[in-house]
């Protein structure tokens, strides 16, 4: 985006975390006029249905259209750099838990091409977006910027009810799952094949990060957690506790192969996200 001449934003807005250089001209299109310029100033707000607006924009292009720049070589180079960076981050170890790059590299390898992956709110979602590489055919469920912590596991239950023949995965933090952890009993009762990856960093990490970013003291974000893998076993589910990155592949393979709800608790480093 930093090298674009103009940004055309279709049916999307911006949160206060969206880092966009303010000098870029922005055309924002939305059917809801209240979304136009709501979070970020735009050069040209367009109130309209996306399909209609796109058709009008296409008809306004010169004929023949301007010559396109082939960016595939540049994109491949940037992708290679980013993959090398991810590989480097997978080796980070401060002795305070598993890093998120390693978690989502393992999940990228383990999740089948037809998997449905429900992702909770918090640093786990940021790390998922940063490191997970989707395959064609996978579906990802997120609650966007609603801030609805606790979304992940109930969403996975809903996905199982809708498409029980597809592999269902849930990704949550400890804070999000703790709000709905009793629903694991529901999953056990109905034999739901949900593979749950829980990143346990002992805190509401996203809130801690926001407090630091606002030059405030970190206040009331630490959590007193149980052993979630043991809790899963008590409920009648599969439970596996990961404390080293080397355990991830075995844990995810065993959980995905289990006939019923499975939980992989990863003791994670709160700063290596």
CATH code of the domain in which 246 resides: 3.40.50.970
Mean pLDDT lowest among 49-58, 103-112, 217-226: 217-226
Claim to verify: residue 244 and residue 144 sit in the same structural domain: yes
DSSP conformational letter for 35: G
**Is 141 in the same domain as 241?**
yes
pLDDT value at residue 265: 98
- Using the CB atoms, write b or e for 6-17: b if 16+ within 10 Å: eeebeeebbeee
- Same domain? For 131 and 254 the reply is yes
CA 150, 153, 155, 158 torsion-angle sign: negative
**Nearest residue to 47 (alpha-carbon basis) of 99, 10, 3:** 10
Domain of residue 50, residue span: 7-59
pLDDT of 17 strictly over 80: no
Task: Please provide the average confidence, as pLDDT, over all residues in the chain.
Answer: 92
Query: Are residues 245 and 147 part of one domain?
Result: yes
Is residue 231 situated within a structural domain?
Answer: yes
* pLDDT tens profile 58-98: 999 888 878 888 989 999 999 999 999 999 999 999 999 99
- Do 191 and 101 sit in the same domain of this protein? yes
- The reply to whether 46 and 102 lie within a common domain is no
Reported as type and span, the H/E element at residue 78 is helix 72-90
| Same structural domain, 40 and 156 | no
Torsion on CA atoms 148, 123, 153, 146, rounded to nearest 10: 20
> What's the pLDDT at 203?
83
Domain assignment present for 180 = yes
pLDDT recorded at residue 20: 76
Assign 40 a pLDDT band (cuts: 50, 70, 90): confident
54/102 same-domain check? no
């Amino acid at each position: 985006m930093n090298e674009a001449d103009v940004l055309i934003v279709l049916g999307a807005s911006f949160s206060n975390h969206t880092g966009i250089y303010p000098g870029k001209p922005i055309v924002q299109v939305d059917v809801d006029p209240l979304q136009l310029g709501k979070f970020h100033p735009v050069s040209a707000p367009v109130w309209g249905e996306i399909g209609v607006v796109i058709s009008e924009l296409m008809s306004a292009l010169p004929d023949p259209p301007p010559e396109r720049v082939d960016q595939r070589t540049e994109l491949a180079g940037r992708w290679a750099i980013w993959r090398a960076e991810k590989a480097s981050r997978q080796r980070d170890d401060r002795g305070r838990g598993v890093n998120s790059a390693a978690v989502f590299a393992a999940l990228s390898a383990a999740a089948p091409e037809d998997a449905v992956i429900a992702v909770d709110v918090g640093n786990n979602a940021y790390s998922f977006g940063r490191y997970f590489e989707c395959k064609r055919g996978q579906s990802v469920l997120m609650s966007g910027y609603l801030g609805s912590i606790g979304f992940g596991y109930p969403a996975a239950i809903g996905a199982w009810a809708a498409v029980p023949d597809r592999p269902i995965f849930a990704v949550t933090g400890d804070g999000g799952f703790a709000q709905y952890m009793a629903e694991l009993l529901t999953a056990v009762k109905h034999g739901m094949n949900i593979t749950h990856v829980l990143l346990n960093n002992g805190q509401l990490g996203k809130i801690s990060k926001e407090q630091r970013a606002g030059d405030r003291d970190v206040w009331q974000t630490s959590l007193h957690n149980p052993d979630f893998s043991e809790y899963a076993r008590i409920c009648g589910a599969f439970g596996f506790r990961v404390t080293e990155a080397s355990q991830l592949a075995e844990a995810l393979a065993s959980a995905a192969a289990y006939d019923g709800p499975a939980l992989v608790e990863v003791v994670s480093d709160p700063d290596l996200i």
